[in-house]
């Protein structure tokens, strides 16, 4: 029966000599990292180009009243309750 480790001790993850990473795996990991970084930059650029505050129109209450054909806002001027 093997002794159970105490909560403070952690068992080793792997015993024996560490395995060397091959140059092919290292090059593949670098390539994947570069591609992911390029994609993140591309998504950020698209977001900034299409959704930046400079592309948003100014909307004011007067323009909305003219667009929808209403006189005044009901939220600003609630109807009076009948006594």
Residue corresponding to tokens 């795996």:
25
Write down the pTM of the prediction. 0.47
Residue pointed to by tokens 């009901």: 74
d(CA 36, CA 28): 12
Is residue 65 within 8 A of residue 71, CB to CB? The reply is yes
- Cα separation of 11 and 4, whole Å? 9
What residue spans define the domains of the chain?
21-53
Token digits of residue 64: 């909305």
User: How far is residue 80's CA from residue 83's CA, in Å, rounded to a whole number?
Assistant: 9
Using the predicted structure, report yes or no on whether residue 5 has a pLDDT greater than 70.
no
Q: What is the pLDDT of residues 58-78, one digit of tens each?
A: 788 877 887 887 776 555 556
CA distance 17 to 19: 6
Q: State pLDDT tens for residues 12-41.
A: 666 666 678 888 999 999 999 999 999 999
Mean pLDDT of 34-59: 90
Predicted pLDDT of residue 25: 92
């Amino acid at each position: 029966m093997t002794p159970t480790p105490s909560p403070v001790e952690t068992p080793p993850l792997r015993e024996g000599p560490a395995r060397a990473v091959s140059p092919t795996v290292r090059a593949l990991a670098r390539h994947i990292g570069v591609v992911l970084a390029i994609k993140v930059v591309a998504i950020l650029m698209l977001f900034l180009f299409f959704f930046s505050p400079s592309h948003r129109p100014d909307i004011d209450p007067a323009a909305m009243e003219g667009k929808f054909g209403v006189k005044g806002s009901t939220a600003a001027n609630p109807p009076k309750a009948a006594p």
